[in-house]
Each structure stands twice: as structure tokens, then as C-alpha cells.
Structure 1
Amino acid sequence: MWCDLGKLRTTVALVCLVTVSAGISDIGFAVRQRNYKPQEFRAVLHGLGYSVKVTNDALTDEEIKKAISEFQKGYKLTVDGKAGQKTQAFAANIVKILQGNLNAALKPNPPLPRDQFYSPRMEKLVKEYQKKNQLTETGIADLVLRQKLDENAKKAIGQTMKPTAKPTVKPTTKPTVKPTTKPTVKPTTKPKATPTVKPTATPSTTTSTTPSAESTTTPSTKAIP
């Protein structure tokens, strides 16, 4: 993974921060064209803790070839003692990560540019970090220092990404609107209608009946003694 951030952005830097150690495999790194001059590449190796003089001599003497071989072996590259493109790409990537970590841990103003060079200002910031952590001020960021710096940078970035302010606004008002109106309409009419019609007709005929036929026949004869 090639972390090319330009200017430091905490959210992006947190993703791209990795611990640079001897166990990193070369498979995960994309080879990118790098054109170090001999003095620049020597400065990188020297700044990363390898025993090499910073001169403008060609990268062919035994000292520089040994330093390059150690670097290649540590990062599981093809060990040939030559500063090929993959070797340069690895070195450049480590420098860029180191620059990002220094920016996060020390917050220099202006921040270090994210480039491939181990500049005098970068060396100065390494010394500042060493002084801050009570280390010998050499300006050399060897593997042990880079691992420690990586941890500090992650903590610094984590602190800046956490919310520091808590919500202070609480609901201070309660609902003051209550239903002030009650139903005022009541049923004012009651059923007043009563049956006004009464039966006025009474039976004109009685139900009592008398025998309509009487016995008209009387005895016509009397008993004669």
C-alpha cells in the first residue's frame, strides 16, 4: 500500500499509518519510480540508522552496498546491494510514513512535506522528538525509534479524532401549552315531547246483554179439582 497523503489529514493519516518493521513483506508495496541522487539516497539510509557516509559518491563502494543489502534483507527484498527501483520505493515509503508520524506527534508549523527526502529539517524534528522523550539526540530514526514514534502518532491522532465537547444544550423548556378549552357545548335540549293524544272515545255500547227472547207461552189450562 502506498500512502501518499500530501498534507497531513488526521483521518487519512490514521488509515495510512503502519508500523515499519523488518517483517513487512515486499508483496504489498507497489513499485513507484524514484530517482534518488546518490547523496539523497545515502542521506535516507543514514537517517534510517544504517552505517553509511552522506556523500555524493556513486552507490558502488562496499560501505553503501553493505548498507543497501542490510536494508533489503530487513524488508525481504531481493538482496543484491543495489539501489534498484523497488529498493528506492521502499526507502521512500518509509520516509514518508516517518514524516507523517512526526507531523502527528510534534505538530510542527509548517508540517513536513510528504516527500521522499530525509531533509535537514526532518533530522531536526527527529532530534526534537528524541529530546522530548529523553533519548539521545542523534537525528537518526532507527527502527526502535520509528516504532515508538508510530505508537505516539497513533495516540495523538486518536485524541484529535475523539469528540472533546459534550452536548451542553439540554431541553430547558417544557411543553407549556395545555389544552385550555374544554368542550362547552352540552346537549341543551332534552326530549320534551310527550304523547299528547289521549283516547277520547269511550265505548258507547255496553257489553251486557239481556235475553232478547222471552217465554210468551203461558199455561192455558188450569187444573180442575
Structure 2
Amino acid sequence: MWCGFGKSSFTVAAACLISTSMVISNVTFAAQTYTPRQFRAVLRGLGYNVKVSDAPLTDADTKKAIQEFQKGYKLQPADGIAGPKTQDFAATTVKILQANLNLVAKPNPPLPRNQYYGPQTEAAVRQYQKKLGLQETGIADLALRQRLDQQAREILKQPTAAPATQPSPGATTSPAPTSTPRTTPTAKPTPTPTSTPRTTPTAKPTPTATPRTTPTPTSTPEALPTATPTPTTEASPTATPTITPDLSPTTTPTPTPRR
């Protein structure tokens, strides 16, 4: 039997996966069945020495490969038998591999993110290997999955800086007002009433003529800031929150070294 996620539960599980180990005991799995051929294809696709056929998973080479997989993911018992827990972990590994390939290699059409290591997944792995200049085997062994995992993490970090380009309409004007209005409203609104005693002529056109008449009195430095608060874009900078990415983190589980 193998595990099947819904999209929401898969996002939670993927976020909790660590490079050396993973814990999925709190995830609900839908009981399904791998055929011997399907499970052999998964093991082979993940880099284990297994021949794809309809033969039972009981020959020496296949049992050895299953045992290596179990030890890598610290599954107990590591008995070389493809039980439900072993197949669940294999299915999870394939799903995360497919999600990371969609994110990094961007196959067209995207991979379906199921538990099968079929021709479409193998083709996406070949595409990724070609991009890296590697031999195009279609096999996602541990080293390749770790590299893919790292690139997926880097891509997921990018959206935190990307929102800086979104507030382009106010980005050019809002940063400048933010520095002055935040300092001037504290010190400058108080001088505004003093415009009448200091420059009585200028106090008459205070609404608009302050910038024109301020150069005449000697207190120009104090009157100049009265024009700076005029930009009503004080709220513009606050309207540029960083947008958290809605991408689901898809970190592939990497088994701990056997030795």
C-alpha cells in the first residue's frame, strides 16, 4: 500500500520534510496499492538497482534495494519487504520530486504529482539533467534530488524580494516623502502657526504662497519644510506590504547516509 495526499495535506508534509529525515506520522494516507511493476519503477527511478518487471518483489536484488531504502529513511524494521510504510515513504518521495521538478525544470505539461515514476516523470528528470549538463539517464538518484531540492529552496526564497517591483507606481515618489513627512510632521506642524508672527505678509498666502514668499524672510529653512508635507502620499509607502509567496514549499526528503 502507498500513501496519497490531498493538496493541502501535502503542503504541510512538504514543509516539514528535512534533508536527512522526515516525519509524516501525522499525515492521513489513502490506502492504495502499488503493483510490483509500479513499485519497481519507483525504486529504479530513485536510483536503486532494480529491474522493472511484473515479478514479485522477492528476488535478492529487489529485497536488497528495498532494505537500502528502508535504512536510508530509518524505517523499522529494515527487512527488505515492501510493506505499507515503505511504500508510503516511496510515494511521498516521488510526489515531492515531481513538485520540485515542476518548480525548477518547469516541464510542459507539468507533472501530475502522483505516486508513480512513469515516462512523464522520467522525461522531466532527463530535461533537468540536460539543463545541468549531466548524463540524461532519467534516474533521480540521491545526489540529483539533493541538488534539485536546493534549487527549489532558492526559488521559494525569491518571492520575498520580488514585491519590491510591484509598488512601481508609488515606488519612485513614496520613498522620498516617507523620509520627510515622518520627520517634518513632528517638528514642522508646530512652525506653521508661527508663519503669522514671523512673516505677516507671508501669513496671508500661507495655503499656497508659502513656497514663493519663504525665500524672502531669513527663516526660510523653517518655512521650507511646510511645503514638504504637502505630498499626500504618506500612506503610499505603507501600502506596499511584502507579499508572502503562495507557493507550497516542496522540499524533497533525502535519506540519511547509510554509513
Instruction: Give me the TM-score of the superposition, normalised by structure 1.
Output: 0.66
Task: Report if the CA contact (8 A) 1:49-1:141 is conserved.
Answer: yes
Q: Which of the residues 42, 45, 56 maps onto 2:43? A: 45
Corresponding position of 1:24: 21
Write the mapping of 1:1-225 to structure 2, written as runs, cut at 5 A. 4=5, 6=7, 16-17=14-15, 21=19, 23-24=20-21, 28=25, 30=27, 32=29, 33-77=31-75, 78-160=77-159, 162-163=162-163, 165=165, 166-169=167-170, 170=173, 178=207
- Counterpart-to-counterpart distance in 1, 2:157 and 2:13: 11
**Letter paired with 2:97:** L
- Counterpart-to-counterpart distance in 2, 1:18 and 1:150: 14
**Letter paired with 1:178:** P
- Give 1:27 shift: 6.7
**Letter paired with 1:39:** R
- Give 1:179 shift: 7.4
What's the secondary structure of 2:169's corresponding residue?
A: coil
Corresponding position of 1:189: none
Change (3 A) 1:5 1:72: same
- Counterpart-to-counterpart distance in 2, 1:66 and 1:28: 25
Greater shift after overlay, 109-118 or 84-93?
Answer: 109-118
Q: CA RMSD in A?
A: 3.2
5+ residue gaps, structure 2, are 177-204, 210-259
Cα deviation, 1:139-165, whole Å, max 9, x if unaligned, reads 110111101000111112222453251
- Counterpart-to-counterpart distance in 1, 2:38 and 2:91: 11
- Counterpart-to-counterpart distance in 2, 1:37 and 1:87: 14
Task: Report if the CA contact (8 A) 2:16-2:22 is conserved.
Answer: no
- Counterpart-to-counterpart distance in 2, 1:131 and 1:120: 16
What's the secondary structure of 1:163's corresponding residue?
A: helix
**Letter paired with 2:89:** F
What's the secondary structure of 1:91's corresponding residue?
A: helix
Structure with the larger helix share: 2
- Counterpart-to-counterpart distance in 1, 2:13 and 2:69: 25
**Letter paired with 1:24:** S
- Give 1:28 shift: 4.7
- Give 1:102 shift: 0.3
- Give 1:31 shift: 7.0
Higher relative contact order structure (alpha carbons within 8 Å, sequence separation ≥ 6):
2
- Give 1:52 shift: 0.3
**Letter paired with 2:168:** P
Cα deviation, 1:74-123, whole Å, max 9, x if unaligned, reads 11112111110000000000001101100110222321111100010110
- Give 1:4 shift: 3.8
5+ residue gaps, structure 1, are 181-225
